[in-house]
A and B are shown apart, each in its own frame.
Chain A
Amino acid sequence: MNDEIFFVRIEQMREKLYRIAYPYFNSESMAVDMVDEAIYRAYIKRRQLKNEAYMETWLIRILMNLCMSKYKKFKRQTGIEELPESATYADYENLPLKDAINRLPEQYRQLIILKYFGGYTVAEIGKMLEIPQGTVATRMRKALSLLRLDLS
């Protein structure tokens, strides 16, 4: 992939990248750092991408991995503790939604972020995270019920 195409695709995606990184930290500067880093890593490895059609999936995966890794440190620094798998909606209902999302177990949090902030469908999220669509749907239902997000 040549530079021109790479940066044209980045221009098309940068808003989405930012929207996905932001909820992890609720900080503009940290989200920008994550997006910068993901673009840089993708750029130096762009020749390894065999099929340009997968650029978006590939870049989002790089970004998500960076955000997750960074978020682990961020949690330690800020004292955020994820609620356990066994937590129920009652544990989440008194938290502002922003905090509730941050305290979801990672497997639920990434689905909520990709769906609502990235705008991806269940099928797209399945491909992105390399998990079956059925699993995405099940986890999504669980995450939505914990957060009391009723789509109907």
Chain B
Amino acid sequence: MNRIDEMNQLIDEITTVPQTLEMNRIKTKTKRRARIHYAMVTLRGFAIALIAFMGTLVVGVNTSPAFASYIMQIPILRELGKSVLLDKGVEEAVENGFGTEVDWICKGDRYPLYVDYVAADDTALVLFFHTDDDGGKTEFSMSADVFDGETGESIATTYYLPRYSSDGKDAILRIDWDQYYEKVRMELQAEYDDGIETYTLEFDTPEKSEAKIYTPNETFSAGQAEYRISEVRIYPLSTEIDMEYINPEEVETLWMSMTIYDEAGHQYQERESGTIIYGGDDNKHTWSLDSGYYELEGQIHLKIDSVETLEKAREIVTLDLNTMIFSDIYGPVPELSKAESEGKNQYRFKILDQMERSFNNTFNRFLDKDGEWKQLAQGGTQDSTCIILKNEDDIYIDGNNQITLERSFPDQNIDINVDILLNP
């Protein structure tokens, strides 16, 4: 008996990659988890430096407005502000009544874990916990497998920060999920310096915090593009903004910079972490912002600060291999320098100073001989970008010795400052 046919059948069963492994989702989820991870790690490191630094700083800021203004220009402090906001995002959620005090004890073989608070909404579950500072272990890393307590189905696998050092403050375990589950079972694995300890935790999830839903139904435009904000859902732990692109034929929207603020002065501008989380329909997208805006008070405003767009007719760019000049339908692309060849099918160039910021992603794809678009790889330094066209034999080179590329950076960054009152 030869079972090779049975094997082939087994292999054929796994023919399609599930929708959940779609690239945009992978990127969003990975970057989101990484941001929380970096924020937590960064926070601890900064906390110590900050205590020492604040003494000097407070005196300086209070006595000199110029100094106060100057320190806001120091990148490391802006970074600190961002990290604190992310951390505040969950901690204050609990303090403001979005979390439930639980006092659970997970008895391990050696070191117990104490869960103090749990907060949940439709987008995330957060546990605040600590170890026994007195005689217990105060440093550990942790991972968690999370299951639906009713069906046993896996909900998520989460990797927690590599090193938590208890300093009297709770550690925070955040699990992003796609819906609220009433019952949860968690298998936690804590890695201490003298070995691994496992814990099982089963619980009824505290009542979920509902989103505050606003339906502004407001339209606004940026250059040739027009948009409608249909719904804004502010959860304690994140915010989602549903947006329709009313005339997507001529212009592609690449990015938006948004701010949510209230009249008490709370303000959240999350340019880098705002992400488009899904958009099966090209004309509708949901933007997701990382922090929840639970502590907003009084009248809440959503401000669209700027929009980056690309005229669709300019998406196609050619690189002339004789002159090394990038061109589109209007002639040479003004934002790009002449390219330099760096080996076969590898070209280096600069985004010129007229762009307001640098772009890691200059081109998405190149055209192959069969008329198909193929992914290209990009690398580079702060000063220049390098694109690498793989599958060199497949590259389409036209009669004028030109290759064809798909542009992915904007031709316009439009400041619009549209202010929408969410709760009139």
Which among A2, A43, A148 is the interface contact of B1 at CB below 8 angstroms?
A148
A3-B360, A150-B2 are contacts. A70–B145 as well, Cβ < 8 Å?
A: yes
Question: Which residues of the partner chain B approach A18 to less than 8 Å between Cβ atoms?
Answer: 14, 17-18, 21
**What per-residue 1/0 map shows which CB atoms of A9-44 lie under 8 Å from chain B?**
111101100110011000111101111110111011
Q: Is the CB of A149 within 8 A of B17?
A: no
Decide if B79 is an interface residue (CB 8 Å cutoff).
no
Question: Which residues of the partner chain A approach B329 to less than 8 Å between Cβ atoms?
Answer: none
Q: How many residues of A contact B (CB 8 A)?
A: 45
- Closest chain B residue to A112 by CB distance? B7
- Closest chain B residue to A28 by CB distance? B18
Q: What interface size band does chain B fall in?
A: 35 or more
Instruction: List B residues 19-58 near A (Cβ within 8 Å).
Output: 20-21, 23, 26-27, 29-31, 33-34, 37-38
Question: Which residues of the partner chain A approach B377 to less than 8 Å between Cβ atoms?
Answer: 4-5, 8-9
Q: Is the CB of A73 within 8 A of B145?
A: yes
- Whole-angstrom distance between the Cβ of B85 and the nearest chain A Cβ: 20
- The docked-state distance in angstroms from the alpha carbon of A93 to that of B367 is 50
Question: Which residues of the partner chain A approach B14 to less than 8 Å between Cβ atoms?
Answer: 18-19, 22-23, 117
Report whether over half of chain B's contact residues are helix, strand or loop; otherwise say mixed: mixed
Question: Which residues of the partner chain A approach B17 to less than 8 Å between Cβ atoms?
Answer: 14-15, 18
Q: Is the CB of A32 within 8 A of B18?
A: yes
Q: Is the CB of A4 within 8 A of B154?
A: no
- The docked-state distance in angstroms from the alpha carbon of A93 to that of B375 is 45
- Closest chain A residue to B375 by CB distance? A8
Question: Which residues of the partner chain B approach A73 to less than 8 Å between Cβ atoms?
Answer: 145, 187
- Give A contacts to B, CB under 8 Å: 2-5, 7-12, 14-15, 18-19, 22-23, 27-30, 32-37, 39-41, 43-44, 70, 73, 77, 93, 96-98, 116-117, 147-151
Closest 7 CB pairs of A and B: A150-B2, A97-B6, A37-B157, A33-B157, A4-B378, A148-B3, A32-B20
